[in-house]
Amino acid sequence: MIHVPWQEPEQLPPAKGDSDLGGRRLEEVEPGHALVDVRGLKKYFPIRGGFLSRVTDHLLAVDGVTFWIGKGETLGLVGESGSGKSTTGRAILRLIEPTAGLVRFDGVDVTAMDRDALQGLRRRAQIIFQDPFASLNPRMTVGDSIREVLKVHRLARGDVADRRVRELLKLVGLLPAHANRYPHEFSGGQRQRIGIARALSVEPDFIVCDEPVSALDVSVQAQVVNLLEELQERLGLAYLFIAHDLSVIEHVSDRVAVMYLGRIVELADAGDLVAEPKHPYTRALLSAVPIPEPGRKRKRIVLPGDVPSPVDPPPGCPFHPRCPHPLKDEECARVVPPLAEKAPGHFAACIKEPALARFQPGAEEC
């Protein structure tokens, strides 16, 4: 029995009481010209134990994730801590080896790339982290850090590299003279700008932004988000933008994917996801986001219990032990819900949320 308040969506789809697996599955959709195309990505970390340190179990950090990102597009990836967001971002760049699945970058299979091909990938696909301090060498000046990347990728040397460093610092709103300073001489926001300049030095097409603003003060967060948006417009970049905070994600993303226990449970255009969330987990996440209108408040949905262990995820719907959906039943503990299209371009993994009109018998196909 669940004692949490349930927030009724404004237009509740027809309640059925039984499962509805209707709607195309995300895996069946051909994205056309995706820059990044991820299909059934899995990353299981081995758990070792005992005297001989044998593999005794696996932690299912990412468990069959499918999505794509178009050129110049931002896909937001949101979810609680430990849901597998960073692991997804790192696995698609092969910073960690995926356990299974397919990742294509501009049509080329990343999972099959050899060392040289991976070096080429790193020139087109970069990552920026939550804590840029950790990724900058404290004993190197900012200029040397950026020059190092240019050298590794054989992009520029000598005066050309110096000029490029100055250009990059200006591009991210810093001064050319900052090239001679060390990372500890900068504020958090400035350090994040340096991390961005470093990522941009190879002129990438795609950047995984892993919580790039989470460690910054709110006022500085907006500056860095605006900078990333400006650069996207100017340079045609695509982003996988990872964050805990749905209000940041909603602001920056074209589409949003919501992760729970290593899986995507909902994926839709940012506006649709926020206006009409279809998965109970997304509704709970959204209920915690303040409405920026005086006097208006959302009714908070407090989920019972903690996120289960990814070493032993629940059978059936991974969300079922915490799900406040009024139609939840024993079927939820048995059936693994596919990520199915419930409304055009709007996918959710819930067997109690029927596909809407387009998919119902007698409805006209649009």
Residues that bind ligand ATP (CB under 6 A): 45, 59, 61, 79, 81-87, 244, 310
Choose the one of ligand ATP, Mg ion, ligand SF4, none that binds residue 323, judging by a C-beta under 5 to 8 angstroms depending on kind. Answer: ligand SF4
Q: Does 301 bind ligand SF4 (CB under 6 A)?
A: no
- Whether residue 123 contacts residue 202, with contact meaning beta carbons closer than 8 Å, is answered with yes
- Whether residue 211 contacts residue 132, with contact meaning beta carbons closer than 8 Å, is answered with no
Choose the one of Mg ion, ligand ATP, ligand SF4, none that binds residue 337, judging by a C-beta under 5 to 8 angstroms depending on kind. Answer: ligand SF4
Among 66, 74, 83, 86, the residue binding Mg ion under the rule CB under 5 A is: 86
Determine the 3-state secondary structure of 330 from DSSP.
Answer: helix
Closest CA to 15 of 353, 363, 366, 365: 353
Q: Does 319 bind ligand SF4 (CB under 6 A)?
A: yes
Using the contact rule CB under 6 A, the part of the chain among 114-122, 314-322, 338-346, 358-366 near ligand SF4 is 314-322
Q: Does 232 bind Mg ion (CB under 5 A)?
A: no
Cβ neighbours around 176 below 10 Å, total: 15
Burial class from Cβ neighbours inside 10 Å (0-12, 13-18, 19+) for residue 68 reads: buried
The span from the CA of 74 to the CA of 78, in Å, is 13
Q: How far is CA 122 from the centre of its chain?
A: 19
**For residues 246 and 323, which CB has a smaller minimum distance to ligand SF4 in the complex?**
323
Structure tokens at 358: 């387009």
* Binding residue count for ligand SF4, defined by CB under 6 A: 13
The span from the CA of 249 to the CA of 221, in Å, is 12
Q: Does 147 bind ligand SF4 (CB under 6 A)?
A: no
**For residues 61 and 179, which CB has a smaller minimum distance to ligand ATP in the complex?**
61
**For residues 12 and 52, which CB has a smaller minimum distance to ligand SF4 in the complex?**
12
136: left (phi over 0), alpha (psi -120 to 50) or beta: beta
- Whether residue 277 contacts residue 7, with contact meaning beta carbons closer than 8 Å, is answered with no
Choose the one of ligand SF4, Mg ion, ligand ATP, none that binds residue 95, judging by a C-beta under 5 to 8 angstroms depending on kind. Answer: none
Choose the one of ligand SF4, Mg ion, ligand ATP, none that binds residue 45, judging by a C-beta under 5 to 8 angstroms depending on kind. Answer: ligand ATP
In the complex, the residues that contact Mg ion under the rule CB under 5 A are 86
In the complex, the residues that contact ligand SF4 under the rule CB under 6 A are 280, 317, 319-320, 323, 325, 327-328, 332, 337, 350-352
